[in-house]
Amino acid sequence: MDTLPVASGAAAEPLTPAQLRELYSLMVAVRHLDTSAIAWQRQGIIPGYAPELGQEAAQVGSGYAVDTTRDFVFPTYREMGVARTMGVDMVAYMSTHKATWHGGLYDPLESRLAPIQAVVAGSVLHAVGWAHGQTLAAGTAGPSTVNTAPADGKLGVALTYFGDGASSQGDVHEALNFAAVMKAPVVFFVQNNGWAISVPTERQVAGGSVAARAAGYGMPALQIDGDDVVAVVEATRRAFAHARAGNGPVLIEAMTYRRGPHSTSDDPGRYRSLDEERDGAGTDPLERFRQRLLADGIADEAFFAEALAAAKAEEEQIRTGIQALGSRPGTEMFDLVFQETTPALQAQAASWREESEHV
């Protein structure tokens, strides 16, 4: 499905060989960190993790289209590959999985990545709010606007992620409708990985397609091969160009497959067989891209080996950083709830202090 007008300008330019190699290096770094994070959990370094094995093309490809000088990304709990592609500090990112801090220790404003969101479909609402703020700031939303338009007239775009399962939450429909009515610059990026924990897409998405729903909101949509990193970059760039120019939101449904468990505490053997998994998964997106680069003469075995060595060195550095992370002061759980504290919160903080003094 492709109901988005044909792209022009930078959005339509093909990726250069250097960019293709960069995409491969990112995918290898993400694959290696992701599989290592599962091992860290088994070794007791972190208590839990949500793997993204098989979703590297969808995540790296979409994250690659972000302009971190003006866009903002609203992830779920499974977007490690997006964070890595955007250049977020990965020790700070992984701190959530060590249970050091809710949402990650990185600075959302500086990195342009909102805190990790564990509430299914929660990120879409924040994205629409932020995006509508962009419209107001640009002075294109009527007489209530107070700010001046950006010098080049191009809006910052919110890129928000959700899953096939999340698409059945009311929040998603409210967000889609509001974004379309307000013409907010949002790219809704759905990773349809076939599963919502133990529930397959056909038991979750009536009609079988999240992309098809966009029509009901008067919104253009793209349903793409989410395991083809080049297709993902191209689609996301087109969607960004459309939203940035003030034409409103776009929905992308990237068809992919969750090859591993939902999380490190999940056992997929209880709801799908290995045969089903093999059939559903298709060709590994990383291997697919490797074959393509080889066939097109863009990279060779030496390059692949170098990329893997870099990924291993990076993972070691991140693991060391995670292991060195101490705990945060307990009072922070009260300090950062509201900008201005409330009497009830102060009372809770006082009784917590009293109790912890005796421990």
Ligand X SMILES: Cc1ncc(C[n+]2csc(CCOP(=O)(O)OP(=O)(O)O)c2C)c(N)n1
Residues acting as catalytic residues: 258, 262, 271
Q: Which is nearer to Mg ion, 100 or 193 (CB)?
A: 193
- How many beta carbons lie within 10 A of that of residue 178, not counting itself? 19
How many degrees, rounded to 5, is the angle at CA 223 between CA 221 and CA 229?
Answer: 120
Piece of the chain touching Mg ion by CB under 5 A; list 135-143, 190-198, 274-282, 310-318: 190-198
Is residue 42 a contact partner of residue 67, using CB atoms and an 8 Å limit? no
Element (H, E) at 306: helix 301-324
| Subset of residues 19 to 78 that bind ligand X, contact rule: CB under 6 A | 78
* Min dist. Cβ of residue 163 to Mg ion (A): 4
Q: What is the largest CA-CA distance in the chain?
A: 67
Using only C-alpha atoms, the chain has a radius of gyration, in whole angstroms, of 21
Q: Does residue 195 interact with ligand X by CB under 6 A?
A: yes
Per partner kind, with CB cut-offs from 5 to 8 A, the member of Mg ion, ligand X, none near residue 119 is ligand X
The residue of the chain with the least Cβ separation from ligand X equals 163
What does 209 bind: ligand X, Mg ion, none (CB cut-off 5 to 8 Å by kind)? Answer: none
195-196 and 199-200: which strand pairing? antiparallel
For 18: left if phi > 0, alpha if psi spans -120 to 50, otherwise beta; the answer is alpha
Residue 206 binds ligand X, judged by CB under 6 A = no
Query: How many residues bind to ligand X according to rule CB under 6 A?
Result: 15
Q: Does 193 bind Mg ion (CB under 5 A)?
A: yes
d(CA 128, CA 188): 10
Instruction: Pick the closest to residue 292 from 5, 13, 20, 9 (CA basis).
Output: 20
Minimum distance of ligand X from residue 256's CB (angstroms):
10
For Mg ion, give the closer residue by CB, 168 or 193.
193
Give CA–CA dist 5/141, Å, rounded: 23
32's contact among Mg ion, ligand X, none, with CB below 5 to 8 A by partner kind, is none
On whether the CB atoms of residues 94 and 37 are closer than 8 A, the answer is: yes
Query: Looking only at residues 140 through 169 of this chain, which bind Mg ion when binding is defined by CB under 5 A?
Result: 163-165
CB 210 within 8 A of CB 176: no
Find which of ligand X, Mg ion, none residue 78 binds, CB within 5 to 8 Å per kind.
Answer: ligand X
CB 51, CB 36: distance < 8 Å:
no
Answer yes or no whether residue 59 interacts with Mg ion by CB under 5 A. no
The answer to the question of residue 290 lying near ligand X (CB under 6 A) is no
SS3 298: coil
Using CB under 6 A as the binding rule, the residues of this chain from 246 to 275 that contact ligand X are 258, 262
Cβ distance to ligand X smaller for residue 44 or 170: 170
> One symbol per residue from 151 to 190: x for binding ligand X (CB under 6 A), - otherwise; what is it?
-----------xxxxx------------------------
| Nearest residue to the partner Mg ion, using Cβ | 163
- For 237, the token pair is 């760039």
Task: State the Cα–Cα distance between residues 169 and 172, nearest whole angstrom.
Answer: 6
Q: Which range touches ligand X (CB under 6 A), out of 84-92, 106-114, 116-124, 273-281?
A: 116-124
Residue 96 phi, psi (nearest 5): -65, -40
CA–CA distance, 123 with 292 (Å, rounded to integer) = 34
Query: In the complex with ligand X, which residue's Cβ is closer, 104 or 156?
Result: 104
The stretch among 60-68, 193-201, 298-306, 338-346 that binds ligand X (CB under 6 A) is: 193-201
Query: Cβ 206 to Mg ion, closest distance in Å?
Result: 15
> Which residues are 293's β-sheet partners?
none
User: Could you list the residues that contact ligand X (CB under 6 A)?
Assistant: 78, 118-120, 162-166, 193, 195-197, 258, 262
User: Could you list the residues that contact Mg ion (CB under 5 A)?
Assistant: 163-165, 193, 196
